[in-house]
């Protein structure tokens, strides 16, 4: 199994004061969490502030998106080299909210994945099916296509050291978490699709992960940790989820 990883996706939440409060509380709780990698992904404007607070700590920093291009006339975009420059190690790629609200299709997501790799960031590739797709029995076809776009553009080796987050869209922000067997079944499918062996990526589950369900999810053979939304904004809850990953 890959090393455990828990990532907090703050989405479009926080303020300067909240960044300080939340990161201070997380740093105070972190020393007890040796053995699990933890990272947070604040909104762009707070990355530099967060990087300053996290200097010298074992809490990693990530962004929620990146541009395909490295620089140029792309108003409103933020590039991989900029994220590296302010201290990011990780970047989310193809989150379902980017896919559904901002039109990011599989080919674009694959280009963003490639850009992240080219600039030395660890991409966290998000995949997942809509409720209607699950009910229609097409979950594996949908996720297979999401993975194949990256595999076709970047090759299987590009997944070495990368992270894939399975986030069923119907479980995001709904409180309706996938059952551990449901999560495990899709994680196993992903593991088989990308191939086991040296290049095997770290596989996270995301979608209504909370302190009371994290341990059951993380106990699954192919679940290496979690990508956490709402609960990552509450220090005690996020620390509890990190502890659940640590105790696996």
- Report the nearest approach of ligand 13P to the CB of residue 124 (Å): 9
Half-sphere exposure of 246 (CA within 13 A, CB side): 16
In the complex, the smallest distance separating the C-beta of residue 227 from ligand 13P, rounded to whole angstroms, is 5
Nearest CB to ligand 13P, comparing residues 71 and 174: 174
Q: Smallest distance, Å, CB 233 to ligand 13P? A: 9
DSSP state of 173: T
The nearest distance, CB 108 to ligand 13P, in angstroms, is 18
| 105 is known as an active-site residue | no
Among residues 97, 104, 133, 167, the one annotated as catalytic is 167
SS3 content of the chain, % helix, strand, coil (to 5): 50, 15, 35
Pick 60 or 206: Cβ nearer ligand 13P: 206
CA pair distance 152, 156, nearest whole angstrom: 8
95 is catalytic: yes
Q: Shortest Cβ distance from residue 55 to ligand 13P (Å)?
A: 25
Question: Which residue's Cβ lies closest to ligand 13P?
Answer: 229
**Which of 13, 95, 129, 187 is flagged as catalytic?**
95
In the complex with ligand 13P, the residue whose CB is nearer, 192 or 212, is: 212
Which residue, 52 or 173, is less far from ligand 13P as judged by CB? 173
* Distance of alpha carbon 26 from alpha carbon 9, whole angstroms: 14
Which chain residues interact with ligand 13P by CB under 6 A?
Answer: 9, 95, 167, 172-173, 206-209, 227-231
Burial of 185 (0-12, 13-18, 19+ CB in 10 A): middle
Give 42 or 195: the residue with its C-beta nearer to ligand 13P: 42
Q: What angle (nearest 5°) sits at the alpha carbon of residue 100, between those of residues 208 and 207?
A: 10
**DSSP letters along 25-47, please?**
HHHHHGGGGTTSEEEEE--GGGH
Distance CA 193, CA 7 (A): 23
CB 168 within 8 A of CB 134: yes
**Active-site residue set:** 95, 167
């Amino acid at each position: 199994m890959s090393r455990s990883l828990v990532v907090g996706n703050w989405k479009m939440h926080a303020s300067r004061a909240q960044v300080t409060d939340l990161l201070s509380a997380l740093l105070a709780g972190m020393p007890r969490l040796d053995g699990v990698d933890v990272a947070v992904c604040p909104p762009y404007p707070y990355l530099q502030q967060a990087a300053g607070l996290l200097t010298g700590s074992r809490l990693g920093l990530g962004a929620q998106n990146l541009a395909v291009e490295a620089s140029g006339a792309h108003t409103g975009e933020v590039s991989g080299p900029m994220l590296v420059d302010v201290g990011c190690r990780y970047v989310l790629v193809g989150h379902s909210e980017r896919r559904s609200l901002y039109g990011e299709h599989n080919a674009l997501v694959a280009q963003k994945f490639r850009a992240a790799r080219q600039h030395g960031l660890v991409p966290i590739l998000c995949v997942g099916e809509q409720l209607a797709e699950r009910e229609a029995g097409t979950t594996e076809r949908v996720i297979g296509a999401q993975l194949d776009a990256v595999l076709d553009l970047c090759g299987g080796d590009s997944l070495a050291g990368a992270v894939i987050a399975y986030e069923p869209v119907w479980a995001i922000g709904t409180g309706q978490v996938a059952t551990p067997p449901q999560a495990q079944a899709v994680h196993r499918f992903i593991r088989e699709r990308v191939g086991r062996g040296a290049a095997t990526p770290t596989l996270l589950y995301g979608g209504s992960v909370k302190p009371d369900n994290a341990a059951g999810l993380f106990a699954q053979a192919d679940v290496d940790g979690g990508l956490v939304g709402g609960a990552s904004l509450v220090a005690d809850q996020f620390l509890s989820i990190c502890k659940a990953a640590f105790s696996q």
